């Protein structure tokens, strides 16, 4: 029972930490209908600051560390990113009232990494004085990009298969309606309209005025290009800030600005971001309620399952190559986290037919609060209990 | 003298900004105005000022002045075909008269 009491005590203590209390505070004031507004540009600056700081920390530390240690955790990150998407494809997608593309997109978002969740975990590790390798922040892209690429690729493979099936069926169908020059588009549209999730019920009569624009739609090309997705992820605001920080930390001598500006401001700004994320989480819950209830179940369970898988893999690295316990926690937390800054636009562009209310709602409203509020204290407690 | 023109208005999601700008230029229009907007449509209230950390909820409004209806319709058709099945958006057209604008060419030429 020693383990359990230690864990529970730790859990309560975590809830009082600035990170979590601001998140919960944000949710509470949003629930009470507060008119508090944090300008969007401030959020963007905060995200930039946090990720640059993480990058700089990593870059400065990498200069005098042995990078071969990073290979195994980086490999595990890639595996996790891909695995999480497949877990969603074969669990969430099978649930009733869940569209397969929506499920794959949700998996992609949960596989991708949230910079703010990672920042929260790193802050808590520092507060608890648990050592971790400074390069663990650099594991971010190794999990983020594979998850998004996998999600977009398997979603497009699935859609193409569905479209080919529809085309084959159309070839056998006797007469097409006159406006339909492209039978594929017409059928794809009708199967869309009969889709199970009715987020916008009037979707079916949306194009009635200019019917021809649907019939003009060419069937999507069957090849998904992977490189543009990777490029887009790297160019996203979160990753480019982190990579810039990493490069500057490695090449330049940014210690003076790091000590006087990035490091001292980090925690305060993180608390503002947490407040905003709490408020956003609350405002998205209503949106999620309109899509299938199973998303709620998935987004509560999935972060913890992903985290435990990552924790297991991290422990393997711990025994094999001496990956620190703090590093194991970071790996588990980034697996548990779901992208909230750069992931959604990438997925929206990569899988346009997936319903953003489903995957962004699942991630922002429930996935992120669970990752920050439950997963971080859980894995920290677990690491402390195991590490002593 | 006022030159007759068509004002094409496209209200849609911000993540389409670059792609729509490309279509407009490819259709032969030389300029456009983009505004950040918000409002309510068939796909729920969008960008009405809730806090957010990513741009996925933001909306934009394009205004394009074209000298003839054909160009405007070409732009509208392409945008609708490519995006409006999966993205929120609406396109409408109005009559306009360009009073001042050095490089705007009306139907009778510049």
Q: What is the CATH number of the domain that holds B90?
A: 3.30.70.120
Q: Is residue B109 part of a domain?
A: no
Distances (CA, A) of A227 to A155, A232, A238: 16, 9, 18
Q: Which residues contact B1 (CB under 8 A, 6 or more apart)?
A: none
Q: Which helix (H) or strand (E) holds A8?
A: helix A2-15
Distances (CA, A) of A13 to A2, A16, A126, A272, A378: 17, 5, 15, 20, 12
Residues in chain B within 8 Å Cβ distance of A287: 44
pLDDT of A244 > 60? The answer is yes
Q: Between residues A264 and B106, which one has the greater pLDDT? A: A264
Q: Give the per-residue pLDDT at A202.
A: 41
Q: Residues A99, A110, A25, A279: is their CA dihedral positive or negative?
A: negative
> Does B77 touch chain A if contact means CB atoms closer than 8 Å?
yes
Closest among B29, B58, B27 to A345, alpha carbons compared: B58
Please give the Cα distance from A103 to A23 (Å, whole number). 26
Question: Once rounded to an integer, what is the mean pLDDT over residues A131-138?
Answer: 88
Closest among A268, A249, A356 to B44, alpha carbons compared: A356
Please give the Cα distance from A52 to A245 (Å, whole number). 5
Residues in chain A within 8 Å Cβ distance of B42: 200, 202-203, 206
Q: Is residue B105 part of a domain?
A: no
Contact at 8 Å (CB) between B73 and A216? Answer: no
Q: Is residue B80 part of a domain?
A: yes
Q: Give the per-residue pLDDT at A179.
A: 44
Q: Give the per-residue pLDDT at A174.
A: 55
Question: Once rounded to an integer, what is the mean pLDDT over residues A223-235?
Answer: 82
Please give the Cα distance from A106 to A297 (Å, whole number). 13
Percentage of residues in chain A with pLDDT exceeding 70? 86
Distances (CA, A) of B48 to A43, A110, B8, B10: 16, 26, 24, 18
pLDDT in tens, A91-114: 998 888 889 999 999 999 999 998
Q: Residues A189, A229, A298, A43: is their CA dihedral positive or negative?
A: negative
> Does A344 touch chain B if contact means CB atoms closer than 8 Å?
yes
pLDDT of B51 > 60? The answer is no
Q: Is residue B90 part of a domain?
A: yes
Q: Give the per-residue pLDDT at A215.
A: 55
Please give the Cα distance from A73 to A316 (Å, whole number). 9
- Residue with structure tokens 């497009």? A156
Percentage of residues in chain B with pLDDT exceeding 70? 83
pLDDT band for position B61 (50/70/90)?
very high
pLDDT band for position B55 (50/70/90)?
low
Q: Between residues A38 and A2, which one has the greater pLDDT? A: A38
Q: Which residues contact A114 (CB under 8 A, 6 or more apart)?
A: A334, A337, A338, A339, A340, A341, A368, A371
Q: Give the per-residue pLDDT at A327.
A: 93
Question: Once rounded to an integer, what is the mean pLDDT over residues B46-74?
Answer: 78
pLDDT of B50 > 60? The answer is no
Please give the Cα distance from A140 to A67 (Å, whole number). 16
- Range among A227-236, B49-58, B88-97 with highest mean pLDDT value: B88-97
Q: Which residues contact B110 (CB under 8 A, 6 or more apart)?
A: B103
> Does A355 touch chain B if contact means CB atoms closer than 8 Å?
no
pLDDT of A204 > 50? The answer is no
Closest partner CB to A213 (pick from B13, B53, B81): B81
Mean pLDDT in chain A?
82
Least confident piece of the model among A11-15, A133-137, A180-184, A350-354: A180-184
Please give the Cα distance from B21 to B33 (Å, whole number). 10
B92: buried, middle or exposed (CB in 10 Å: 19+, 13-18, 0-12)? exposed
pLDDT of A220 > 60? The answer is no
Question: Once rounded to an integer, what is the mean pLDDT over residues B68-90?
Answer: 90
Question: Once rounded to an integer, what is the mean pLDDT over residues A192-196?
Answer: 39
Least confident piece of the model among A5-19, A271-285, B55-69: A5-19
Question: Once rounded to an integer, what is the mean pLDDT over residues A225-248?
Answer: 86
pLDDT band for position A183 (50/70/90)?
very low
> Does A240 touch chain B if contact means CB atoms closer than 8 Å?
no
CA A159 to chain centre: 22
Question: Once rounded to an integer, what is the mean pLDDT over residues B93-108?
Answer: 84
Q: Give the per-residue pLDDT at A322.
A: 87
pLDDT band for position A191 (50/70/90)?
very low
Contact at 8 Å (CB) between A185 and A214? Answer: yes
Cβ-based neighbour number of residue B88 at 10 Å:
19
Please give the Cα distance from A85 to A323 (Å, whole number). 25
> Does B103 touch chain A if contact means CB atoms closer than 8 Å?
no
Distances (CA, A) of A229 to A79, A152, A226: 18, 8, 5
Q: Which helix (H) or strand (E) holds A125?
A: helix A115-127
Q: Give the per-residue pLDDT at B53.
A: 55
Q: Give the per-residue pLDDT at B54.
A: 59
Residue of B15, B50, B54 to mutate, testing the A interface (most A Cβ within 10 Å of its Cβ): B54
Query: What is the least distance, in Å, from the CA of A312 to any CA of chain B?
Result: 31
**Cβ pair B53:A43 closer than 8 A:** yes
Closest partner CB to A280 (pick from B53, B81, B86): B53
pLDDT of A330 > 80? The answer is yes
Q: Is residue B103 part of a domain?
A: no
pLDDT in tens, B82-92: 898 888 889 99
Whole-number CA gyration radius for chain B? 15
Q: Give the per-residue pLDDT at A169.
A: 86
What burial letters (b/e) apply to A265-297, b meaning 16+ CB within 10 Å?
A: ebbebbbebbbbbbbbbbbbbebbeebbebbbe
Tell me what ipTM this predicted complex has: 0.74
Question: Once rounded to an integer, what is the mean pLDDT over residues B59-85?
Answer: 92
- Range among A186-200, B39-53, B93-107 with highest mean pLDDT value: B93-107
Question: Once rounded to an integer, what is the mean pLDDT over residues A366-378?
Answer: 90
Closest chain B residue to A360, measured at CA = B56
pLDDT band for position A68 (50/70/90)?
confident
pLDDT in tens, A6-47: 777 777 777 788 888 899 999 999 999 888 888 888 888 898
pLDDT band for position B39 (50/70/90)?
confident
| Cα end-to-end span (Å), chain A | 14
Closest partner CB to A283 (pick from B43, B50, B86): B50
Please give the Cα distance from A317 to A329 (Å, whole number). 12
Q: Is residue B104 part of a domain?
A: no
pLDDT band for position A212 (50/70/90)?
low
Q: Which helix (H) or strand (E) holds B74?
A: helix B69-83
**Cβ pair B54:A340 closer than 8 A:** yes
H helix count then E strand count, chain A: 19, 0
Q: Count of domains in chain B?
A: 1
Q: Give the per-residue pLDDT at A225.
A: 81
Q: Give the per-residue pLDDT at A325.
A: 92
Q: Which residues contact A235 (CB under 8 A, 6 or more apart)?
A: none
Q: Which helix (H) or strand (E) holds B77?
A: helix B69-83
Q: Is residue B60 part of a domain?
A: yes
pLDDT band for position A217 (50/70/90)?
low
Question: Once rounded to an integer, what is the mean pLDDT over residues A135-158?
Answer: 91
Contact at 8 Å (CB) between A132 and A330? Answer: yes
**Pairing mode of beta strands B59-66, B33-37:** antiparallel
Q: Is residue B62 part of a domain?
A: yes
**Cβ pair B77:A277 closer than 8 A:** no
> Does A261 touch chain B if contact means CB atoms closer than 8 Å?
no
Q: Is B105 helix (H, G, I), strand (E, B) or coil?
A: coil
Question: Once rounded to an integer, what is the mean pLDDT over residues A161-189?
Answer: 61
Backbone angles phi, psi at A132, to 5 degrees: -145, 155
Q: Is B62 helix (H, G, I), strand (E, B) or coil?
A: strand
Range of the domain at B70: 3-98
pLDDT of A178 > 80? The answer is no
Closest chain A residue to B15, measured at CA = A345
């Amino acid at each position: 029972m020693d383990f359990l009491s230690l864990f529970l005590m730790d859990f309560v203590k975590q809830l009082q930490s600035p990170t979590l209390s601001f998140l919960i505070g944000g949710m509470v004031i949003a629930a009470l209908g507060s008119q508090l507004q944090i300008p969007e540009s401030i959020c963007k600056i905060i995200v930039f600051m946090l990720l640059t700081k993480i990058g700089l920390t990593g870059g400065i530390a990498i200069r005098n560390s042995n990078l071969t240690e990073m290979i195994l955790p980086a490999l595990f990150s890639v595996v996790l990113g891909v695995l999480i998407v497949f877990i969603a494809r074969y669990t969430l997608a099978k649930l009733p009232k869940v569209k397969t593309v929506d499920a794959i997109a949700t998996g992609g978002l949960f596989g991708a990494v949230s910079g703010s969740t990672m920042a929260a975990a790193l802050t808590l590790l520092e507060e608890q004085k648990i050592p971790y390798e400074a390069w663990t922040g650099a594991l971010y892209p190794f999990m983020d990009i594979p998850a998004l690429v996998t999600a977009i690729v398997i979603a497009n493979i699935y859609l193409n298969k569905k479209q080919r099936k529809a085309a084959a069926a159309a070839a056998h169908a006797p007469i097409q309606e006159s406006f339909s020059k492209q039978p594929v588009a017409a059928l794809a549209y009708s199967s869309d309209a009969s889709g199970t999730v009715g987020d916008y019920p009037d979707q079916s009569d949306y194009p009635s005025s200019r019917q021809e624009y649907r019939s003009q739609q060419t069937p999507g090309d069957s090849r998904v290009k992977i490189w543009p997705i990777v490029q887009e992820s790297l160019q996203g605001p979160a990753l480019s800030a982190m990579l810039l920080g990493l490069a500057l930390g490695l090449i330049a001598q940014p210690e003076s600005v790091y000590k006087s500006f990035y490091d001292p401001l980090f925690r305060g700004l993180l608390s503002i971001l947490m407040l905003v994320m709490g408020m956003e989480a609350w405002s998205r819950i209503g949106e999620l309620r309109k899509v299938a209830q199973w998303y709620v179940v998935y987004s509560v369970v999935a972060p913890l399952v992903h985290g435990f898988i990552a924790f297991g893999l991290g422990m393997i690295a711990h025994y094999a190559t001496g990956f620190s316990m703090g590093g194991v926690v970071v790996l588990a937390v980034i697996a548990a986290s779901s992208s909230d800054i750069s992931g959604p636009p990438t997925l929206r562009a990569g899988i346009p037919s997936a319903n953003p209310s489903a995957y962004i709602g699942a991630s922002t409203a429930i996935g992120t609060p669970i990752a920050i509020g439950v997963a971080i204290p859980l894995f920290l407690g677990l690491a402390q209990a195991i590490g002593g | 003298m006022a030159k007759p023109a068509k004002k094409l208005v496209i209200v849609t999601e911000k993540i389409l900004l670059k792609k729509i700008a490309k279509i407009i230029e490819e259709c032969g229009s030389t300029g456009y105005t983009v505004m950040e907007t918000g409002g309510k449509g068939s796909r729920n209230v969008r960008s009405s000022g809730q806090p957010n950390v990513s741009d996925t909820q933001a909306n934009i409004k394009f205004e394009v002045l074209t000298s003839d209806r054909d160009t405007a319709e070409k732009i509208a058709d392409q945008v609708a075909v490519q995006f409006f099945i999966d993205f929120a958006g609406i396109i409408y057209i109005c009559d306009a008269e360009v009073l001042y604008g050095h490089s705007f060419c009306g139907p009778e030429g510049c």
